[in-house]
Chain A
Amino acid sequence: MVSPRLRFAILVAKLASATSRLVGNKGETLPGRILLAIEPEAISLLAQNKEVILVSGTNGKTSTTRAVVSLISQLGPVTTSGSGSNLAWGAANALMSPAPYAVLEIDELHLPGIIAQTDPTIVLLLNLTRDQLHRMHEVKRVADRWHVECTEANETVFVADIDDPYINYAVVNAANVVRVTFGGRTHPDGAVCPRCGSYLTWWRGIYSCTCGLTNKEYDLKFKKGSAAYRNALLANVVGEIAGAQPVEFSESQLERIATKKIGDTTAQFRLTKNPASWTEALQGELQPEVILVLNARQVDGIDTSWLWDVSFKTLKGHTVIVCGERALDMAYRIHVEGIEATVVDTFDEAITKVQGGVVTVLSAYTAFFELVM
């Protein structure tokens, strides 16, 4: 039974959404904020009659959420949060839909609260590495919060990529877990056991600790592969638990990439936002000409120190153009690695420097949205 206050809150939020769209906004944040302002319990009230599936992790949230949505759509209408609106108000906005299924991307710091409020059927935990440290502070701090909430959530099935020791620690005491391994991989921030603080023993991507935390013990094992491949399989594990038939995804469907024609140039954009995603992108295919776009706004992470934890040496031999609000941070970083770039202020200027027909653009979060969306 929907309470009068919740019904009123939904009405006002939907009006706000319509108005916001009229003036050209995507209209996802404002209605959710209004809804929560009028009815602070809106998320838990709206989630009561839905099968809720949550997706979280440092990298791959948006594309994996899309994959889970397409799987769950086999079962019935699905509501989801739009790309990037992964805080509480984004969830609230999506839950206003009458659809019986909700598949939501949730920000790492918001995940424990949203689990507590929505009592989800399934939660998919992808990975935890360094990102936006001015806000997250430490990877371990995020993992500790997940660990507490996952331990409490007795009714939820967690699908966890335990090749990431932080994810394994998060679900180590959870009641229902599907522990997935891809045969192990290295972790850029995984030297210390997140559970007990001992030095983890690593061998070819397999870790074990004296406290017992290890990815040698698992429920499902797949072969090694790229982040996109792993996320496609993890989405299918979620689909299978929910009762959907498996779907084959191409790797490009699971990557934050986009192609755009700008004048005579085809720009192949790829989202790169932290050491793990930059490293993944730089090991992929790169055109002879590459544009690097670096910003440092709140969602990009306002500290650029992490650039020094990424090796850019695959750019050697390429023509590199650097732009964005923090172009000089990037230019000096790669300069010390022996790569000289042309530095310009804006992306529009950068694209005029491209000689060939196709260019790779590796882009910070805020720039990716401005340039592609």
Chain B
Amino acid sequence: MLEIIRIHNELLGTYGDRGNADVLKYRAALRKIPARVTEISYLDPVPKSGDIYLLGGAEDAAQILSLTALRKGSVLSRAANKGAVVLAICAGFQILGSRYVTRDEEIAGLGLLDVETTPGDRRLVGDIAVASKLFDQPLTGFENHSSVTTLGADALPFGKVLQGNGNGVAGVDGAIDKNVFGTYLHGPVLARNPEFADLLLERAVGSTLSAVNDELAMRYAMWRRALIK
């Protein structure tokens, strides 16, 4: 059973990122891979047995609460070290970094990605497109944040920004380290980009997936790609 863990959706669920779990489960089912989505609230312990952990976007106070809870026990860091897949969007991405600075305080992140986030001078809102070396085609999404994320020496960008802002610096979006993925793309990103969902499933399962023909998914992804400016 593929265990998909949706972390703190009541806190990290402001921008529809819960859909990433639904798409993973759906595309696993197309391959007859049994998968289960488990919701973990702020009050629950994070299970150690997850294959894929998902974190979404959040408002500021919610983000700090989530980070505080995840720091206890370091379950996420240990799971990632053992090769579990982690996909973190926006505030979730910032939580995974080494440091997170707000207007009021400076907080140590979980340290899964070598990035630092600081307040920006404007809100970055709108359609975004990113070219990642992991995919033949650009990825599309929607961004809505006001922070700037800087990559450290150990982090690789998730992709190059074709449209929009991403990290808000250096023309890149997100960060990756082995199976840990951070990005600013909402949409949800896996609904807009089924090839990204498949990559995460492959990493979690450890083998190549059979090809599927989900015509509507392809049509949706292609239509959004055709609108990249």
Contacts and interface: CB of A to CB of B under 8 A. Distances in A.
13 contacts: A130-B14, A133-B144, A134-B144, A137-B144, A140-B59, A191-B62, A303-B15, A305-B142, A307-B19, A308-B17, A328-B219, A329-B220, A336-B191
A138 interface: yes
Given A197-B65, A305-B16, A308-B188, A328 B144 contact: no
Given A328-B219, A331-B216, A333-B19, A191 B14 contact: no
A192 B59 contact: yes
Contacts of B191: 308, 332-333, 336
A140 B61 CA distance: 9
A112 B42 CA distance: 33
B27 to A, nearest CB: 9
Tell me which of B16, B125, B220 has the highest count of chain A C-beta atoms within 10 A of its own C-beta: B16
Contacts of B178: none
B106 interface: no
Contact of A140 (B17, B60, B187, B217): B60
A303 B164 CA distance: 14
A309 interface: yes
Contacts of B223: 328
B160 interface: no
Given A134-B144, A308-B17, A331-B216, 12 more contacts: A133-B144, A138-B14, A189-B14, A197-B61, A197-B65, A302-B142, A303-B16, A303-B144, A308-B18, A308-B188, A332-B220, A336-B26
Interface in B75-133: 123, 125-126
A199 interface: yes
Tell me which of A134, A308, A331, A336 has the highest count of chain B C-beta atoms within 10 A of its own C-beta: A308
In which size bucket is the chain A interface? 20 to 34
Nearest to B142: A303
A309 B18 contact: yes
A134 B219 CA distance: 25
Given A191-B42, A328-B219, A337-B22, A305 B62 contact: no
Contacts, number: 87
A335 interface: yes
Contacts of B125: 134, 137
A244 interface: no
Given A192-B11, A328-B223, A331-B216, A199 B186 contact: no
A308 B144 contact: no
Interface in A285-308: 302-308
A30 interface: no
A354 interface: no
B64 interface: yes
Contacts of A304: 142
B23 interface: yes
Interface in A89-124: none
Nearest to B214: A335
B146 to A, nearest CB: 8
Interface in B182-204: 186-188, 191
A305 B19 contact: yes
Nearest to B61: A197
Contacts of A197: 61, 64-65
Interface residues of B, number: 35
B188 A305 contact: yes
A192 B126 contact: no
A178 interface: no
Given A138-B59, A335-B216, A305 B22 contact: no
Interface of A: 130, 133-134, 137-140, 189, 191-193, 197-199, 302-309, 328-329, 331-333, 335-337
Contacts of A302: 126, 142
B13 interface: yes
Nearest to A196: B61
Nearest to A328: B220
Contacts of A337: 22
Contacts of A336: 19, 22-23, 26, 191
B102 to A, nearest CB: 11
B67 to A, nearest CB: 12
Nearest to A198: B65
B10 interface: yes
A261 B177 CA distance: 58
Tell me which of A140, A303, A335 has the highest count of chain B C-beta atoms within 10 A of its own C-beta: A303
Interface in B143-175: 144, 146
B97 to A, nearest CB: 20
Tell me which of B11, B26, B59, B60 has the highest count of chain A C-beta atoms within 10 A of its own C-beta: B59
Interface in B20-77: 22-23, 26, 42-43, 59-62, 64-65
Contact of A305 (B59, B65, B186, B220): B186
Nearest to A307: B16
Q: Which 3 A-B residue pairs are closest in the complex by CB-CB distance? A: A308-B19, A305-B16, A197-B61
Contacts of B146: 137
A332 B59 contact: no
A319 B191 CA distance: 23
Given A137-B144, A199-B42, A336-B191, A306 B16 contact: yes
